[in-house]
Structure 1
Amino acid sequence: MKKTLIALGLGVATVFSTTALADDYVIDTNGAHASINFKVPHLGYSFIKGRFNDFSGNFSYDPSNITASNITVNIDTTSLDSNHAERDKHLRSDDFINASKYSTATFKSTTIEENSDGTLTVNGDLTLHGKTNPIAIQANFIGAGSDPWGGYRAGFEGSTRLELKDYDIAVMGASSYVDLELHVEGVRQ
């Protein structure tokens, strides 16, 4: 009986020790080490660029088991900033993202896959303007290591294209989509 309990205990210990656990990180938005940027065509002649100034999130990352990783991000849509106050007021209005009604956009990953070239595909659900749709973010791992303050950080970059009609956001001329460029640096907890 004693041998059975020891064997069972060793078996459970082996399962837990061989099951890698992802490290948990909080996205570092305080030091401007992360950003959510956008680029939208303007009348087919140029692009409007901007960002969301206020967002928060966290992620779990396990480099030895990418599929155990995940990310969640909450974006304050009222913080949209294209460096032009009147345009920002219009973009936040119910003509476009209706930030007064839909003040938060969220992204929650459903799967993260490592591609043959070492890049990542982060699949998940984006809720924006009251609509939730699946999206895929093409991402790259930038690096990880100790910081000067005694912490440990990991960083990624990614991009995706959103079709505005998928979120019931008005389309003006050639402005049928928005490209997002994401920079995420997290501090391990």
Structure 2
Amino acid sequence: MNDIEIRFGNRTDLNEIIEIYNECIDDENPSVAYESKLDVNHPPDWLIEKVNNQSLIIEKLNNEIRGFAHIGEFILAPEISEFCQLGVYVKRIHRKSLIGARLLLGIIKVASSLGKDKIFSFVLESNTASLRATKRVLNFLGILPAVAFIRNAHCGIHIFERNLKQGFNKEEILFFEKHINTYFQTGVL
């Protein structure tokens, strides 16, 4: 466990980040199935911007990036700069571990340190693992029924939010201290 590193992503990480992103698109229960695969040879501007703005973190063990999380503008109200939206992506072989939870709480902390007031997440109703993880730290707002058409079927999207001004509860603080601060390399968190 001591070799785990949680840090801001940089340009040298882009190929592995894109590979993880594309793997998530191929999954049977993807959170991003409605997205297009990314080209490792031509990273999109939005991804480079997240790296440059320190709004993307990775978890790495030895030389392998096992997952990443990022924040971006809230798609339902991009004009409100105090709101943001998160995404968490974990390599298939490393799921059902604490990686997603560490990245989720880590990116919430990053959003708070960047002065964001609220963070939102959209999770496909078929992605049960992400729903369980998200329900633990964000508040459920509602469901957009059958708004996504994925794999020839309509799928609802669950919407979650969290008021970042309220900080972390005791359980989250303990988890953060034990599982995140230990590994975070930049001192920001």
Alignment TM-score > 0.5, same fold: no
Larger helix percent: 2
TM-score, normalisation: structure 1: 0.30
Q: Give 1 or 2 for the bigger CA radius of gyration.
A: 1
